[in-house]
Structure 1
């Protein structure tokens, strides 16, 4: 049995993970961490990591970038594998995660915990290689009106994956209204839409002469991200220190 410490347990995603964890016989949430302890959970919840004395095998974090520093310090001190699913991390935090933290403990980090989104990334990488220099590339992401970061981490991950597959590096263009000139061939447009209760929608548009290819993923509920995080915790529990992503989980599953 894999024992889980759920960081951000009283947030929306934390509660979805709590509910869905009952469907996984291999694991059990034995403790939670959240600065707001106003929800009754079937496990003890700590408002400070310093007070957490629970015996756990993996940490799942779906909280806030502000919790990054104390969380990774706690995970390293206790030598606990960390599934980091929080969005909106700064480039500095991601660098620390990749160059420092993952040298000490196993870290699972993905901009999006959905299996479908990660398959989309594989598809757009292949498409970009074939269509390079012939098609303009635009990324449009849509999320609910409560999402703070823009563009989404997933949109940036898609752009990075495309860029890595191209022979030449493309520039990211976030705001054409500030640049009054024709579109450059070597740019990737990234656009953010915020409204209503949209869970998450990502479209990659390859626009060529007289034809358009569009690859799209739409999330209909938060459950797909929760399931991905729970599967990642099972995957990570037996791993050595290092940085792992959804691609490794997918390949091991297959």
Structure 2
């Protein structure tokens, strides 16, 4: 049984993961980290440094400002860590990469298996379609999401950009009076209600339009991926891993 500590255990995703872990035969949550400890069936600490339990892996579903403490703790104790939080700055992403030089680190902008399959598809088709199609990304999330564009939209956009041989640029939101530039990849963020997560990639050509869409119906889809990530990284050597590794292993 893999012993896991869950950072952000009483957040929206933390609660879903806690429930799903109860049915797992491979993972057990031995402790949580959160300022709110109500309703939990396992020990909860205010700060990761207070945790002295025996741990095999750390799962983080919290906020970017927890990164430094998590990096220090996981490196000092040589514990693999899975980062599911979004909204990191470039400097913070660099810290995650640096941490992977010492321990096993798992980081993905989206833990959904479906999104990552789509991401793999985009690697195969984006360069081929770019010649004759304009590319736009639309992402929708609930009204409490703080980062825009979403980490997933940026994941998809960067995959498309890296797959295209020509130089392309991102246009976030598109505002003002100007025609669309040929080399643009449009990214649009919508915030409203309790939308869990909706991502659409549009390839708009002359006389035809290709649309690839993923809709998260429940937060369980992210919890499933997060638990799979914990299972995957357990026992791994130092290095940086992602959902690509999980998807490619499953296929």
| Higher mean C-alpha deviation, range 83-92 or range 108-117 | 83-92
Match of 1:199 in 2: 196
Deviation at 1:251, TM superposition (A): 1.6
Distance in 2, Cα, partners of 1:93 & 1:74: 16
Per-residue CA deviations over 1:66-121 (Å, capped at 9, x if unaligned) read: 111111111111110000001111111111111x1000110110000000000111
Matches of 1:170 and 1:35, distance apart in 2 = 43
Which residue among 229, 232, 237 is the counterpart of 2:229?
A: 232
TM-score by length of 1: 0.96
Paired residues of 1:56 and 1:80 also in contact (CA < 8 A): yes
Native 8 Å contact 1:137 1:206 kept in 2: yes
Indicate if the aligned counterparts of 1:124 and 1:215 stay in contact, CA closer than 8 A: no
Alignment-derived partner of residue 171 in structure 1: 169
Distance in structure 2 (CA, Å) of the matches to 1:49 and 1:27? 19
Pairwise CA distance, 1:125: 2.3
User: SS state of the match for residue 175, structure 2?
Assistant: helix
Correspondence list, 1:141-160, <5 A: 141-160=139-158
Cα displacement (A) at 1:124 = 2.2
How far apart, in 1, do the equivalents of 2:195 and 2:47 lie?
A: 32
* Separation (CA, whole Å) in 2 of partners of 1:8 and 1:169: 39
CA distance in 2, matches of 1:114, 1:101: 24
Unaligned runs of 5+ in 1: none
Contact 2:7 2:60 in 1 (8 A): yes
Given the alignment, which residue of 149, 160, 163 partners 1:162?
160
In structure 2, the residue matched to 1:103 is 101
User: Structure 2 CA distance, aligned partners of 1:216 and 1:253?
Assistant: 22
Local SS of the residue matching 1:235: helix
1:113 is the counterpart of 2:134: no
C-alpha deviation, 1:2, in angstroms: 0.4
State the partner residue of 2:91: 92
1-side partners of 2:214 and 2:163: how far apart?
20
Moved more, 2-11 or 20-29: 20-29
Cα RMSD of the aligned pairs, angstroms, is: 1.0
Q: What do residues 206-233 of structure 1 show as CA deviations (whole Å, max 9, x unaligned)?
A: 0011111000000001000001000100
C-alpha contact (below 8 Å) 2:117/2:247 kept by paired residues: no
Separation of aligned partners in 2, 1:209 and 1:251: 34
